[in-house]
């Protein structure tokens, strides 16, 4: 079971920790020291216009920011398709990248935006031992979907967990055929 950038962690329907119930986490980085990811479907969100207004910046439309995780809670990041880039963009997979700079907001507000994108504040993180325990215990808290379909990653937050569980089930079933 290899955890790599672009994989999804799906809250186990039976054993998930209550605070992670129905969560879907997109892995952005996995090294020997840590695994980092963004909660794609957090029910907690913020309005970007309100946040920027406090900094004296006007935002042209209502844009919600998801709570990506408990680490670096004030760090604004954009997960997006990788045909687009900003001054601080890191490729994650062949299809997705992550950006985190103020220039990305200027570009988007001027109409220069990726095909698909979402904004998040904060990130989740685990040590390798922590995540291994959460995945491999008798009551695993997470299910790992190594190659998630784009339709799951790009789906609406309210439908994402169900779609991810279905994709995981299909993936597991097909490995036995």
Q: What is the pLDDT of residues 67-97, one digit of tens each?
A: 999 999 989 999 999 999 999 999 999 999 9
- Residue 49 neighbours by CB distance under 10 Å: 15
In the chain, the percentage of residues whose pLDDT exceeds 70 is 97
95 domain-assigned: yes
3 domain-assigned: no
CATH number at residue 126: 3.40.1740.10
2 domain-assigned: no
Number of domains in the chain: 1
1 domain-assigned: no
Mean local confidence (pLDDT), 121-141: 93
107 domain-assigned: yes
* Least confidently predicted of 40-49, 80-89, 110-119: 40-49
125 domain-assigned: yes
Degrees, nearest 5: CA angle 79-27-70: 80
Q: What range does the domain containing 78 cover?
A: 8-175
């Amino acid at each position: 079971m290899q955890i790599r950038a672009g994989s999804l962690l799906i809250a186990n329907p039976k054993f998930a920790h209550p605070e992670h119930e129905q969560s879907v986490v997109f892995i952005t980085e996995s090294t020997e020291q840590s695994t980092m990811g963004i909660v794609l479907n957090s029910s907690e969100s913020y309005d970007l216009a309100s946040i920027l207004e406090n900094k004296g910046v006007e935002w042209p439309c209502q844009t919600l920011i998801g709570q990506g995780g408990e680490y670096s809670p004030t760090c604004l990041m954009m997960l997006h398709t990788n045909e687009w880039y900003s001054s601080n963009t890191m490729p994650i997979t062949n299809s997705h990248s992550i950006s985190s700079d103020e220039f990305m907001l200027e570009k988007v507000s001027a109409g220069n935006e990726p095909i698909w994108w979402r904004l998040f504040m904060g990130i989740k993180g685990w040590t390798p031992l922590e995540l291994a325990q959460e995945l491999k215990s008798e009551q695993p808290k997470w299910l790992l979907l190594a190659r998630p379909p784009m339709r799951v990653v790009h789906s609406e937050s309210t439908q994402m967990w169900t779609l991810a569980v279905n994709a995981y089930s299909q993936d597991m079933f097909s490995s036995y055929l």
